[in-house]
Amino acid sequence: MMHRDETHPAYPASVLPPRWWETASAVARPYLKARGATLNDVTVGLDDYLRRGIDTLEIFAPLKGGVCYNGLDTLDFYQIDPAIGSLDDFRLLIAEAHARKMAVIIFINLGYGHEQFPAFLQACDDVRAGVDSPVTHYFLWSETGKDTMDRSLAPYFMNDIHGNWRWSERAGKYFWVKWEGEKGGYHLPQFNFGDPGWQEEVRRIIRYWLATGIDGMIIDAVTWYVDCNWDICHSTMTDVIHEAGNQFCQPEGAGGFHDDPVVWVKQGGWNCIMDYSIKLWWEGVDVIRDALRSGNPQPIEAALRSYRDRVLAEGGICYIDPPDLTDFPLEARLLGAALTSSMGELVVLKGDLSVPLGLSARPQSPDELAFRQGLDRLLQLRRRFPALCAGGERCQIATSDDKRFYAFLRGSPGRRTLAVFNLQPSDQRVTLDLSGQAISVLEDGFSGEVVSPVRDDLSLDLPGYGYRIFAIHENLSESSR
């Protein structure tokens, strides 16, 4: 009933560099349905995105669906939502993006459907009629509403740690629900990943969209996929995604429930994890925000070592959006964005922040305009210096006071950068210990100012909440001067 192609599709060859996500500058996630925008709006704006320094488009909830979670409650896994366009529009976006060497990824949910999802309605009718059809096994049923599930794989696969059984008059049984919409009132039926039939349907869905030429996908809330395990995770999702080659893949939410993010890379086969050590919104964690409030950057370094650096060592990358600092001075907001864009993660801009100013109808205050322009300069710098991006090593550099200032090297030999931050609201002189780093020439990424020779005890004067980001060169001839 849901199936499209039964045959294994031929995937288009990637036009992007191998492991493109390691050197991508930034991802834009514009929430098209919420804005009343379309795929064609994104296509028309591709050059504006590039000028901002954004080289990846994330199409959030592109499938035909309802209103929950910006449209993640899917009605048809094989159709673009008419509210944002058509399959032809989607293919055009991919073609135009690839002509500019930009990536297109999608954000989809495979864990639950809309309340009116056709297979669920059919399953309800079959359950009531006593018909043991394939679609009845796509969902979880209970006679009593008191059945429990195996929790032995938590906190990686949670099963029934959160959720409830809901009575279906149509089925005459209870069905399992984890998600009820942002404000409640919805009962979205959860799929059964323990069912071989649903497993095969997931493979079909993923292959169908890979065949359009996308460059990767984020799969929502995998932690809550009922009766999933590492083998099923591989066979239904990551192994299938990797069939297409050079594909970015992220299990949204993974690493956010006190589970080890490295396990999702090592055992799950994913290559990107959201950095919930820096920002975990549902627990109120925002390490960069707290560091700016306290003036002490040490918790940022501790978080990066425990999470981002370990994910990178296993072959993955991390993904993060800038902190919300609208109640801070402009200079502090820009410092937060500079930290986010240089510490070694793939930057994602969500909602209004992702939309180029020329395409946004939202009025901008002078401070907001200045922030957006400063953010764009940071993203443009990432495109110029890929050592700032998600791949590559990160090494803290000692400063004259690590409880007030922060510095680190990024990249690999021959392709390195140095970033220095003053987390104090007042002007400060920051001295760096560069001994043993073999740095001959520094070029300021914004002004082009060249520092040479570079002393082992380099001192820099930084304004309140100021920062500097340098490209490291072997000799003067490599600088732009």
Angle of helix 330-342 relative to helix 366-384, nearest 10 degrees, comes to 20
d(CA 204, CA 305): 38
> Nearest to residue 319, comparing CAs of 263, 376, 368, 256?
256
* Alpha-helix runs per DSSP H in 69-195: 87-99, 118-129
Instruction: Supply the DSSP symbol for 64.
Output: E
- CB contact at 8 A, 275 and 238: no
**Alpha carbon separation from 22 to 19, 218, 316, 392 (Å, rounded):** 6, 16, 9, 8
The C-alpha angle 93, 208, 221, rounded to 5 degrees, equals 90
pLDDT at residue number 6: 47
Q: Which two tokens stand for residue 249?
A: 């893949």
In sequence order, the 6+-apart residues with CB closer than 8 A to the CB of 281 are: none
> What b/e sequence results for 424-446 when a residue is b if at least 16 CB atoms lie within 10 Å of its CB, and e otherwise?
beeebebbbebeebebebbbebe
Domain ranges of the chain: 20-113+194-275+345-360, 393-478
Which helix H or strand E contains 469, and what residues bound it? strand 467-473
Q: Which amino acid is at 250?
A: Q
CA dist 220 and 352 (Å) reads 21
Distance CA 213, CA 103 (A): 10
Backbone angles phi, psi at 25, to 5 degrees: -80, -60
Alpha-helix residue ranges (DSSP H) falling in 387-428: none
Q: Which homologous superfamily is 20-113+194-275+345-360 in? A: Glycosidases (3.20.20.80)
Amino acid identity at 418: L
pLDDT for 10: 83
- Give me the pLDDT at residue 412, please: 79
Tell me the helices (H) and strands (E) count for the chain, helix number first.
14, 24
Three-class secondary structure of residue 467 per DSSP: strand
Helix axes 287-294, 330-342, angle to 10 degrees: 130
Q: Cβ distance 314 to 271 under 8 Å?
A: no
Question: Residue ranges of the chain with pLDDT lower than 50?
Answer: 1, 5-6
Reduced to 3 states (helix: H, G, I; strand: E, B; else coil), residue 345 is coil
Beta bridge partners of 29: 350
Enumerate the β-bridge partners of residue 112. 190
Question: What are phi and psi for residue 124, nearest 5 degrees?
Answer: -60, -45
pTM (predicted TM-score): 0.95
| CATH number, domain 393-478 | 2.60.40.1180
Residues 6+ apart with CB under 8 A from 131: 125
